[in-house]
Structure formats: structure tokens, C-alpha cells
Amino acid sequence: MALKFQYNKTALHNLNKQLKIRLKALPTLKNKEAALRLEVKKAKKKTTDLEQKLKELLISEEHSVQLWNEFLPELITINNVKISTKKIAGVSIPLMDEIIFDEEKYSLFSNPDWFPAGISLVKKLGRIALEREFYARKTDLLDRARKKTTQKVNLYEKVQIPGYEGAIRKIKRFLEDEENLSKSAQKIVKKRQQRQKVKIA
């Protein structure tokens, strides 16, 4: 998009003002972009780590797969997930504070003795799976914000700042040329007046 401007001092003043705003904002935007890039990297690593942890836990329990046919899935449900938000480089990110499980009462005598350990395992798997989902979501939000910031940095650095600088140069040259023409015209008028005075005298 070409910058539209007029060749006068008011336009020059306005363009200088806009240029200063962008030059002042650019380092802040670059810092934000770097911070978001780092946070995206951390969130991706945490998501991968949780994925691995979940796989390892499931593999470690493969030997007891037959027992799970006896388990009653309705014994445990997720009642609530408490969420808070935290700002990271100006971006609101959800945080998982607590998972509240509901446990149904059951008879320890008429059910297998491994049920308490089974409930504990289901809770552990649920926590890891939910946390992994939160980190995946966090990664998406941070990455989207980072891309927007990168676009703004590129817009300022590669389009707007050079555009304003070019427009300011053009206006300054035009005003200098105009001033030089004006001075030249004044000299010509002065010389003409001096010649006429000489002729009269």
C-alpha cells in the first residue's frame, strides 16, 4: 500500500510523528516476539513431555489390561476443572489450577481389592491427559500471538518505517527545491529592480 501525503510542512510534521511512534514501538514488539517464541518452545516441550509420560504410564499398565474389564467406569468422573488465566507477553493464557473428581461409593468387600489403586491410576491418567490438552491449547494461543507480532514487526520494519522515511525525504527535497526556487526568483527580481534603478538614474 503506497503512502499518501502532501508536499507541505504539516504533512512532514505528521509523517515524522508517525515514524517516531513506529521506531519507538519496534524494540518493544521485537522483545514481545522473542518472549512469545520462547514461551511457545517451552509449551511445546511440556506438551511432548506429557504425551511421553502418558504413553509410559499406559505401557507400564499393559500387564493389567485384563483386570480393567472388571472396573466400573462410573466409579469416577470429572466434576470440575478450575481454570485461571495468566498474561504472558500481553497474551491471556488459561492455566489449569485443579481437577475435581467425583468418586462413587463402592463396597470394598464385594469388589476386587485393586479398585482403590485403579481409581488412583484413572485420576493420574486424567490429570496428565487434561494437562497435556491445556499445554497444547496454550501452545496454539501463544503461537497465534507470536505470528501476529511477527507480522507487525515485519510490517513496521519492511513496509511502514521505510515508507515514512522515503516520504519524509521526498517532502524535504520538495520543500528545499521550492525554497531554492523562491530565493532564485527573489534574486532575479532584485537584480531587475537594480537595473531599472540604474537606467532611471
Residue pair 166/19 in contact by the 8 Å Cβ criterion:
no
Q: How many whole angstroms separate alpha carbon 75 and alpha carbon 95?
A: 27
Question: Using CA atoms, how far apart are residues 48 and 66, in angstroms rounded to an integer?
Answer: 29
Nearest to 37 by CA among 125, 147, 111: 147
pLDDT of residue 32: 93
Helix (H), strand (E), coil (C) string for the chain:
CCCCCCCCHHHHHHHHHHHHHHHHHHHHHHHHHHHHHHHHHHHHHHHHHHHHHHHHHHHHCHHHHHHHHCCCHHHEEEEEEEEEEEEECCEEEEEEEEEEEEECCCCCCCCCCCHHHHHHHHHHHHHHHHHHHHHHHHHHHHHHHHHHHHHHHHHHHHHHHHHHHHHHHHHHHHHHHHHHHHHHHHHHHHHHHHHHHHHHC
pLDDT score of 160: 93
pLDDT at 201: 60
Per-residue pLDDT, 122:
87
**How far apart, in whole angstroms, are the C-alpha atoms of residue 23 and residue 163?**
13
pTM: 0.75
| Neighbouring C-beta atoms of residue 141, cutoff 10 Å | 18
Note the pLDDT of residue 1.
56
Would you give per-residue pLDDT tens digits along the chain (201 residues)? 578 888 888 999 999 999 999 999 999 999 999 999 999 999 999 999 999 999 999 888 887 777 777 777 788 888 898 989 888 888 888 888 888 998 888 777 787 788 888 888 889 998 999 999 999 999 999 999 999 999 999 999 999 999 999 999 999 999 888 888 888 888 888 888 888 877 776
Angstrom distance (rounded) from CA 188 to CA 197: 14
User: How many C-beta neighbours within 10 Å does residue 186 have?
Assistant: 10
Q: Which three cell numbers stand for residue 153?
A: 514487526
Domains of the chain: 10-194 (1.10.287.3240)
